[in-house]
Structure 1
Amino acid sequence: MTVVLTPARATLSALPVPTLQTIPDAVAANVHLVRAATASIIMAVVKADGYGHGAVTVARAAVDAGAEWLGVTEVAEAVALREAGLTVPILSWLNPAGADALLAAAHRIDVAVGSVEELRQLVADAEQPVRVHLHLDTGMARGGCAVEDWAELLRLARRAVTGGRIEIVGVMGHLPRADEADPVANAAAVLRMRQGRDAVLRAGFGPLLVHLAATAGALTDPTTHFGMVRIGAGLVGIDPSETVALVGASRFTASVVHSAGVPAGTAVGYGGTCVMTRATHLSVVGVGYADGIPRQLSAEAGVEIGGRRHPIVGRVSMDQIVVDTGEVSFPRGTAVTLYGPDGGAVPSVQDWARWAETIPHTIVTGIGPRVQRSIA
């Protein structure tokens, strides 16, 4: 039996376009969950365009919910937040193209410095004092000053402070094994952070804002909190430790662009890697790997159409996926939910990460530019 459903909205000339909707209330709920886990200052990290959810939208929601700081990858991102009217302190700590000292000073943006060479360049470029967080390598070997160079960095910082080029306001590091939610696993990093902080205090700097923990540490290990915690993925509903249920902050929707009934034995998609074992109906959805759908997916992968989850079949194409809808034929224009916070038949970001054998971060930051953005 074939069941034909009429789409709630759409015409042949205008279909609902693929859309990623950001949900500010979910961001706020996640900030409140972190606040319940720590007494430290909360920094909302909105790098990578707010983990794909819109940096300004996520930043505003987080600040309104009680986040006291913002964090970004480079100074230009911080300037965009200032131009959007955000006035809270902002730290830029990766600066892959180097930190623009003039912009940082002009827009009251703090800069992290993780090596003697970085500090020398910042001091050479500075015309007004730049607020600096000294970045210590606490065990990742992925940036930050090596322990053996820490004393030299402090000597150079002392000369730069005396010369009026910088102000030392913070010390930071990273937890190399934060997602394990195990205080023992990160004890060495915590100890190294304390030692680095104490050396900075002995060098005559202070008071200092010390920060080490990101989302997982903030939610699971109070020994990592120090004076501030940095929440990035957690803002949009991702706990890397997978121990705390946060609220998904986006909903990815598209529409059926073509449907057809097919007999048993029908090969689907490039290479014919999937052959239907029964007569069924197939719906083509207008998103593909160019839009952020992982190309490699397990057989469990599916989407929500008409209140039920239906499996994706065949290979993911650049612009399309094919969905097996069984006895139901969904007309062109029918709404499809790829993921969202709704539960039930609607997959979560974590589901997609599992199906693609990756982490949720890559799913939310991988949505392509063709996907329209909206705010709930």
Structure 2
Amino acid sequence: MAKRLSGAEREQIGLGRAAKLSIREIARRLGRSPSTVSREVGRFERYGQTYLPSQADWAAWLRHRRTKRPAKLAGDGPLRRLVIDLLRQRWSPQQIAARLRRDHPATPELQVSHETIYQAIYLQARGNLRAEVSRQVALRSGRAARRPRAQAAAAIRSHRPWLGLNIAARPADSTDRAVPGHWEGDLLEGGRGPTGGSAIATLVERHTRFVILVSLPDGKVSEQVVTRLAAAMRWLPHRLLASLTWDQGPEMARHAQFTITTGCPVYFCDPHSPWQRGSNENTNRLLRQYFPKGSTDFRTIDQTHLDAVADQLNHRPRHTLAWDTPGERMSQLLTVATTA
């Protein structure tokens, strides 16, 4: 059935109102929803007028004859070019929209909603950004169609400590993220080759969401892992090395060596509790856009490449940071540490 009422249906509505039929009875005879008929009649009768089908049909034509404005990203211009450039840097539509509002508050022509960007990517008639930016780059998920976010399955909770340094012993000031210097870490696994699996280490600072990626060319042996982690964090001032929270993996068996080298204590999550490293888990999910699961051999990726990926992540604005970037927040902390 057509969405809009036809002229013949309006004639039936007019006859029904003249015969004092109820809205529900008229809707039943037309095979329409009572709310559809009620809205149609209400446009006239609420002002004390009699419903006249010819007037109603003319009014409907006037309402729907308006020419729709072209999509904001349809034509070539500074806004479209800016959005495409940021999509190629793997910013999400929400990050782009929020940062453009903040960076250009007095220039509406350089602002756009995230929904408009999504429509330009998914709907060819609304801008067709996908013709200029590949789907894999434009959308982190790489999906061809939009779908609701799936609900995460409930994890199995456990409270067994590991090596006597359970997360419950972590300093209380790390809980609300207000105090900087508390890090979360894990391994991001790659594909398995002839000599076994490959991996990199990922580190995220909880307060700023600043990311450090660490190459592990010698594999996941604990001595090699903690040595490279310590080297990667050596540039940080002592006040930004308050703690490191890790999963219960054997790669951190030599955590004491790491703590002696850096002065940063290590704490371990409960088994099967990835939410206790929420920032790190979210970062690893973002990294799968760069390093697809099962098809990436990290032995072929050097530290320079990892630094470039981390730089992109650290220059994306974040909703949780009031649309600052992790790099901006970390720079502020380093400036304070230098002047203190």
TM-score (norm 1): 0.21
- Highest relative contact order (Cα 8 Å, sep 6+), 1 or 2? 1
Structure (1 or 2) with the larger CA radius of gyration? 2
Higher strand content, 1 or 2: 1
Higher helix content, 1 or 2: 2
TM-score (norm 2): 0.23
